[in-house]
Amino acid sequence: MEDAYARSVSEVLDFFGVDPSKGLDDSQVLRYAMLYGKNVLPEEKRTPFWKLVLKQFDDLLVKILIAAAVVSFILALVNGETGLAAFLEPSVILMILAANAAVGVITETNAEKALEELRAYQADNATVLRNGCFSILPATDLVPGDIVEVSVGCKVPADMRMIEMLSDIFRVDQAILTGESSSVEKELESTVATNAVYQDKTNILFSGTVVVVGRARAIVVGVGANTAMGSIRDSMLHTGDEATPLKKKLDEFGTFLAKVIAGICVLVWVVNIGHFRDPSHGGFLRGAIHYFKIAVALAVAAIPEGLPAVVTTCLALGTKRMARLNAIVRSLPSVETLGCTTVICSDKTGTLTTNMMSVSKICAVQSLHNGPCMAEYTVSGTTYAPEGFIFGDNGAKLELPAQLPCLLQIAMCSSLCNESILQYNPDKGNYEKIGESTEVALRVLVEKVGLPGFDPVPASLNVLSKHERASYCNHYWENQLKKVSVLEFSRDRKMMSVLCSRKHMELMFSKGAPESILSRCTSVLCNDDGSTVPLTPDVRAELEARFNRFAGKETLRCLALALKRMPLGQKTLSFDDEKDMIFIGLVGMLDPPREEVRNAMLSCLTAGIRVIVVTGDNKSTAESLCHKIGAFDHLIDFSGHSFTASEFEELPALQQTLALQRMALFTRVEPSHKRMLVEALQHQNEVVAMTGDGVNDAPALKKADIGIAMGSGTAVAKSASDMVLADDNFATIVAAVAEGRAIYNNTKQFIRYMISSNIGEVVCIFVAAVLGLPDTLAPVQLLWVNLVTDGLPATAIGFNKQDSDVMKAKPRKVGEAVVSGWLFFRYLVIGAYVGLATVAGFIWWFVYANDGPRLNKSELMNFDTCSSRETTYPCSVFDDQHPSTVSMTVLVVVEMFNALNNLSENQSLFVIPPWSNLWLVASIILTMILHLLILYVHPLSVLFSVTPLSWADWRVVLYLSFPVIIIDEILKFFSRNSTGLRFRFRLRRPDFLPKKELHDK
């Protein structure tokens, strides 16, 4: 029944045909169970494991690599190769792809846990009226029409419509669903609001929420998927994971690279058609196969096989650094996404605030000697921990607050006129509440006031264990004054009273709405001497003015406290006793903003990141909190910047677009609105981070480019997020953004390094094929270079230091290509040199080396006709492993020098020397050791078709390799100067790499 909130009690009962005194009978239960189903959130269909695995291979570059592996294996068999030689290259390629697929499968499996953990918020049991009798049944057996009784501490088992109040007041904490900081008072009357959101449905109890005050009966109107919790599940289920900006750029680059590779491979094969009939190949078909193998080698050279592994490793290193900042990353790619975040949609309750109601102001009458003189105190501490101090009007800390008469009586009243519990949870390491948050706030205040005759509190009580400290002062007053009778809070009185007895003295303590308490007071307690004086109209007016300021301008939730001396021996209280009371004081409380939030939000503004506060609270309360934070001081007022969900939905489409660009505050929202906000911002090409801690935040956390959950939040929110803040600190997001930007810069550097290296390999093979040279590098040698000698330095580049001004720059554009314009030209030049130097090393051995055959260039380029003509050298010289070893070593060494070029994009090695990144130096040393091993250890040299080099060979290798540093230093010089900038501008259109919008669907 979707509109139960708008129906009267009798209409809802009639709809289900149920008698509220008897409940459903067995036949009705059976019929409704068949009609509406069980009260469980249905399990979503899991993606079959084999589909998850296949999905990881749905990438053009991956498909090309698989094809290359298969072709390599077939060609090896055609050529008669057997054993390790035939399987080595395809095996290495497939092992790389399998490792990448495993990472992808694990990531996607973790994403499904959020939906499973949503079930943890369903109640286990319910007290149900059936066939005229109450019984406790599993909550899963509930059907619409069941009459259920709930009381304090109960978890609501299904969506239910209130039908009967069994206490004077009934309140529910529904923060996990709506994000409201205070519990909500429920009532029986139907709701008349149009477009009612959850907060407006004050007669509905939502599944998974908790009763904090009172007892009531309600009729089940929604079970399983047809509940508010079920709608969150559906929203999460239909929310696809967004690809990160880097992932999209790499995908675009992969597609672009695949097309280029295919073109070059076909070109190399076509260019050599004339050589297919050369005698050395043994026929046209074998010649075609030979050059096809060269084309495959070219594909292997062009594809940076190690790129996925290096990206994953760099991001993993970033997550370790972020974990030290209390930002626990659940999804590796989200580390980089932080770097281009343009909007942070921050949940208010629990994120910008502590989600722990706290007394912040106290007002009492100081003296009436020269007219009304008020004493106003400020209370520090923003959590349920009994830690904080009380400060006077002059800002001085009170050493012994309990010695002041009003503060002492306020502590006594707060402790005794209270039904909540404050306790320490050793498992979670924090203080927790049971009951109404406002009452727990009063208990914490009692601990901060302390006890009379003690040393300064709380310092004097630090010797106690945290469990004992939680309620030490409260327990003291409860032992000193025994509760005799209680008048519970009621809606008409708006107050609560308790009768206490102590040493032949009976006292009544009352707390409630200030207007209710003041109207029943005839005298007031003075704080200077503890005297009781009549409550004059002037004093009453001054107290009302303070209350109006607290509740209005400061939007504090206010309670007034009073006491009354009762006749000796009185054992009960009546409503008539609540008159002629003595006013003690006024307390103002709020869900306090976190102290560090202001500076964090200002840092976001400096970094070009807009913050939108999103909350289920009402507009005035949220605006007041934003003013308290001080991060919106640049706004004169919130006009045009603050919208409720209903106000925003009523705007025309064009005005909604404009409102999104100006929005700073979004109030009275429910889960669907948060998800809608994220989607709307994404359609404007914003990169959106969403913070949250409740079940209600989960759909938006999953939809956002990066979902950030609070460490103290619900398991559902954490599972739906990409990152968890262990310290619940908004300021941690700023540090994480800085780290994300640094990681992107380093990622960009090693991608450029790998691209220039691969360009070098492609140039090497292409030039060799065009010149008609023998095979310069074997495919297995290319794999070794790509995976080991490229991979280690590329990973170490991820350790480059963070720029000092990383948080002063605006977020990068989401369409920014990883490599484009002048930069692409630079790396094309470097890559061309790498390729030409590698070919030069190969030619040098044949033409100039002392231990080589010393051929002329024409003989080398016509090597394939060697067997059909007379020569002064044996044709077997072209099978010698020396030239390919020299060229491979040139390729390795030149790439080591090129790695040093990538310590910085534009800064010279004289400014940023190699030892600024010792990891890179170590990786270069390790790479060279590994290369020496395959050259000089016999089994390895056979495996990689290489042979040991002489010192003369090494000298030529160094001569050919070192100039890459000189070339890049010249290019960096142009980058730093106006000539380079103008050149870059000319090359900027079109970019060499494709661009797409970030949020293409």
Residues with a catalytic annotation lie at 347
248 contact partners, CB below 8 Å, separation of at least 6: 996, 998
Q: Phi, psi at residue 472, to the nearest 5°? A: -60, -50
**Nearest C-alpha neighbor of 849 from the set 935, 955, 776:** 955
Give the pair of three-digit tokens for residue 398.
Answer: 């009170």
Give the pair of three-digit tokens for residue 233.
Answer: 């599940």
* Residue 814 C-beta-side C-alpha neighbours within 13 Å: 23
d(CA 919, CA 25): 74
Angstrom distances, CA of residue 974 to CA of 233, 402, 827, 832: 56, 73, 14, 18
d(CA 451, CA 401): 8
Q: 777 in helix, strand or coil?
A: coil
359 contact partners, CB below 8 Å, separation of at least 6: 379, 441, 442, 444, 445, 587, 588, 589
Q: Are 149 and 167 contacting, i.e. CB atoms less than 8 angstroms apart? A: no
d(CA 309, CA 307): 5
Rg (the chain; Cα; Å): 37
Concatenate the DSSP letters of all residues of 344-411 into one string: EEEEIIIIIB-SS-EEEEEEEEEE-BTB-EEEEEEE---SSSS---EE-TTSPBPS-GGGSHHHHHHH
d(CA 231, CA 228): 5
d(CA 949, CA 882): 8
N residues, the chain: 1001
In the chain, DSSP finds a helix count (H) and a strand count (E) of 36, 29
**Nearest C-alpha neighbor of 169 from the set 202, 122, 147:** 202
Strands (E), 567-711: 581-590, 610-614, 642-644, 665-667, 688-692, 706-710
122 contact partners, CB below 8 Å, separation of at least 6: 39, 40, 41, 139, 155, 157, 207, 208, 229
Cis peptide before 458 (omega within 30 of 0): yes
d(CA 513, CA 375): 20
142 contact partners, CB below 8 Å, separation of at least 6: 39, 126, 128, 148, 157, 158, 220, 223
d(CA 416, CA 419): 8
Concatenate the DSSP letters of all residues of 891-939 into one string: HHHHHHHHHHHTT-SS--TTTS-GGGSHHHHHHHHHHHHHHHHHHHSHH
**Distance separating the N- and C-terminal Cα atoms of the chain:** 35
Pairing of β 688-692 and β 343-347: parallel
Give the pair of three-digit tokens for residue 891.
Answer: 């390729």
